Amino acid sequence: MIRLLKGMRVVELASYMMGPIAGRVLADWGAEVIKVEPVPKQTDDPMDGDGDMIRGAGMSRGIVNGDPCVWQFVNGNKKSVCLDTHTPEGKQTMVDLCLSADVVISHLRHKDAVKLGVDYQSLSKRKKSIIVASTSGYGVTGRDADRGGFDAVAFAARSGMIMGMSPGGEPFVPYYGMGDVTSGTYLAAAILAAYVNKLETGEGEEVVTSLYGSAIWTAGVPVMTAPYGDPYPTSRKEQLPTANPFRCSDGKWIYIMGNVWRTALVGLCETMELPPDAKQRWPSYYRAMQDKEELVDLLDREFAKHPRDYWLEKLADTKIPCDVLADFEDVQKDPQAWEGGFLYRSDVEGYDTGIPLAPGQFTNAGKGEVRMNYPGDSTVEELKKIGYSEERIQSLLDRGIAGQLDPETYEYDRFNIEKPGTTYNMVTGGEAM
């Protein structure tokens, strides 16, 4: 377990993915992250049964499947405290938890945070050093500041990514969560900057990271170059021929990134049956771009002569970066993903899958891991930490203002429609077929 952020206490008031991903990054690196969830109702509704709604929802394209590994990815390594914040005592308990923290992560809109007393202005009056980090669709100023946003719209659509990378102008559907994961990671970085300042000065900070702002940063190059008439290439014949994917004789694809033309040309001449006068015909990047369609056709024919593994081996001896075009499923089977320490084996029984680890590897701090949690696993422990008596805690539990489930009987995957014996279909709301 990595301990670099040991001593940092974080309270997370966030659902879905962007804010929780920030909490997950900090938790991976050693911070104590306490996630506040609703009190479990133990109903058959996957979106309103076990605390945070995505415990039951899961995430995937086209289907809500209740896969517990998705929860582990977004919320692993955190502690869970379940509170009914619709009650005065639950609301006060949440505020008390926030005041015990160095950092509060929130996905609440400003007006809602103010109503609950967990906005920066309210908390900083009582604790000068507190950091309140919030997510936003479009930022805190400007005409759209009050609009809500999901990653597909505020990140991928508004930023130009979808249309800029859609061949023929037919918009593609972005994979859900990619904007959230990217923006949440940026939020974690901003939190750490504020935290360093807090350690040096004792001053707190209000931090806001938006989906739209994160997208503009992520797509910085095409956003900058667009006014100069430099659209993102959506065709293999619109860019440098040696920065392209090519289909090999076994039907598999290889991607080469020979963006330094002279180096790429030398490497290809050494490995392929190019025309003897290739170096004279295309001596420069500009000549290659003039004949890009001809060159792509030429390379297509060459790569089609041998299988992908052949070309990977041949190109390994050149200065041309290259790699396979993988499917997402291939990543789980990729030895480098495991040997490189980028995936961690899920500890949920029956689910043999790799959970991505927060980016960043450390030589001396240890290796990352991902621990599962259950609703309310730390409710009693964390309320004791902030000074609540056992009698007060038990009263909150008895009245349903605080909650926890029994780890011995709780089923992490009780809503998973792929689990044998599961009858609930989350797509239709009826019986599974």
Shared domain for 186 and 259, answered yes or no, is no
Distance CA 317, CA 285 (A): 22
Shared domain for 154 and 291, answered yes or no, is no
Q: Tell me whether residue 429 is in a domain.
A: no
Q: Tell me what pLDDT residue 431 has.
A: 45
User: Is the pLDDT confidence value at 428 over 60?
Assistant: no
Per the model's pLDDT, the better-predicted residue between 51 and 126 turns out to be 126
User: Is the pLDDT confidence value at 429 over 50?
Assistant: no
Residue range of the domain that includes 247: 243-319
Distance CA 261, CA 266 (A): 9
In contact, 216 and 159? CB cutoff 8 Å: yes
Q: Tell me whether residue 166 is in a domain.
A: yes
80: confidence class by pLDDT, cuts 50, 70, 90: very high
Per the model's pLDDT, the better-predicted residue between 24 and 419 turns out to be 24
What's the whole-number mean pLDDT along residues 71-100? 96
Share of the chain above pLDDT 90, in %: 67
Assigned token pair, 245: 């994917």
Shared domain for 293 and 382, answered yes or no, is no
> Which pTM was predicted?
0.92
User: Is the pLDDT confidence value at 158 over 70?
Assistant: yes
Burial class (CB in 10 A: 0-12, 13-18, 19+), 61: exposed
User: Which residue among 265, 287, 319 closes a domain?
Assistant: 319
Shared domain for 274 and 155, answered yes or no, is no
Per the model's pLDDT, the better-predicted residue between 43 and 116 turns out to be 116
What's the whole-number mean pLDDT along residues 257-273? 91
Per the model's pLDDT, the better-predicted residue between 12 and 432 turns out to be 12
Shared domain for 77 and 132, answered yes or no, is yes
Q: What is the mean pLDDT of the chain?
A: 90
Positive or negative CA dihedral for 61, 65, 67, 68? positive
Which residue's entry shows tokens 């955190």?
A: 78
User: Is the pLDDT confidence value at 59 over 70?
Assistant: no
Shared domain for 277 and 193, answered yes or no, is no
Q: pLDDT for 289-345, tens place per residue? A: 999 999 999 999 999 999 999 999 999 988 899 999 999 889 999 999 999 999 999
Shared domain for 249 and 394, answered yes or no, is no
Q: Tell me what pLDDT residue 166 has.
A: 82
Q: Tell me what pLDDT residue 29 has.
A: 97
Q: Tell me whether residue 260 is in a domain.
A: yes
- Indicate which CATH number applies to the domain containing 359: 3.40.50.10540
Q: Tell me what pLDDT residue 220 has.
A: 92
Q: Tell me whether residue 131 is in a domain.
A: yes
User: Is the pLDDT confidence value at 168 over 80?
Assistant: no
Q: Tell me whether residue 306 is in a domain.
A: yes
Shared domain for 286 and 140, answered yes or no, is no
Which residue's entry shows tokens 């890009």?
A: 292
Q: Tell me whether residue 433 is in a domain.
A: no
Of 88-97, 124-133, 183-192, 422-431, the one with minimum mean pLDDT is: 422-431
Domains of the chain: total: 2
Q: Tell me what pLDDT residue 422 has.
A: 57
What's the whole-number mean pLDDT along residues 178-184? 95
Tell me, letter by letter, the H, E, C secondary structure of 35-54. EEECCCCCCCCCCCCCCCCH
User: Is the pLDDT confidence value at 239 over 90?
Assistant: no
User: Is the pLDDT confidence value at 373 over 60?
Assistant: yes
Assigned token pair, 340: 């490189």
Nearest to 247 by CA among 256, 239, 238: 256
63: confidence class by pLDDT, cuts 50, 70, 90: low
